[in-house]
């Protein structure tokens, strides 16, 4: 499928605007990844304020730099997913467990309500959902330091 032609800009109120080649403008659009964890560089839909798809993008890398950068910035705000670099401590042996971790966004403390809130993904990554529905990603458990691996061994 050919890469669609379009532009993205922000209006005076900060809303994202999709501009099609024929000049049609859709204010308040949202980019949505079809597979935000397993394939974040592919399959992105831009939907209008009513939820109707206006543009489908097979691969972000096929877009012109200016459009791709604007789209990636929007997607980055929408898909907040701190990356865990180090697990400092886990409190307790029975859920709920408090976890202190160093992430790419700084040091955080969050609560793991149940073992089911820690999901092992097929490629070695681990996705943790805390008690406030904030998600954290461990990109590679094997790459963590020994202390972090020991703490996460019951989950990963």
What does pLDDT average to over the chain?
A: 89
Percent of the chain clearing pLDDT 90 (strictly above) = 54
Q: Of 12-26, 49-63, 74-88, 134-148, which range is least confident?
A: 74-88
Tell me if 27 sits within 8 A of 111, measured CB to CB.
no
Over residues 98-131, the pLDDT tens digits come to: 999 999 999 999 999 988 889 888 778 898 989 8
Domain ranges of the chain: 7-78, 84-152
- In this structure, the dihedral spanned by the alpha carbons of residues 139, 140, 146 and 152, taken in order and rounded to 10 degrees, is 70
Confidence (pTM): 0.60
d(CA 69, CA 73): 6
What is the average per-residue pLDDT within 42-64? 91
d(CA 125, CA 144): 11
């Amino acid at each position: 499928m050919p890469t669609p032609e379009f532009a993205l800009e922000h209006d005076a109120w900060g809303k994202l605007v999709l501009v099609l080649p024929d000049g049609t403008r859709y204010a308040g659009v949202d980019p949505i990844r079809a597979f935000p964890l397993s394939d974040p560089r592919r399959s992105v839909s831009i939907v209008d304020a009513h939820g109707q798809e206006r543009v489908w993008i097979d691969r972000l890398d096929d877009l012109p730099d200016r459009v791709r950068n604007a789209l990636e910035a929007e997607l980055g705000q929408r898909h907040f997913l701190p990356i865990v670099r180090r697990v400092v401590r886990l409190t307790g042996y029975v859920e709920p467990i408090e976890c202190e971790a160093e992430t790419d966004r700084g040091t955080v403390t969050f609560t793991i309500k149940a073992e089911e809130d820690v999901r092992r993904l097929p490629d070695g990554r681990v996705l943790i959902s805390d008690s406030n529905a904030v998600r954290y990603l461990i990109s590679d458990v094997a790459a963590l330091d020994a202390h972090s691996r020991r703490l996460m061994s019951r989950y990963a």
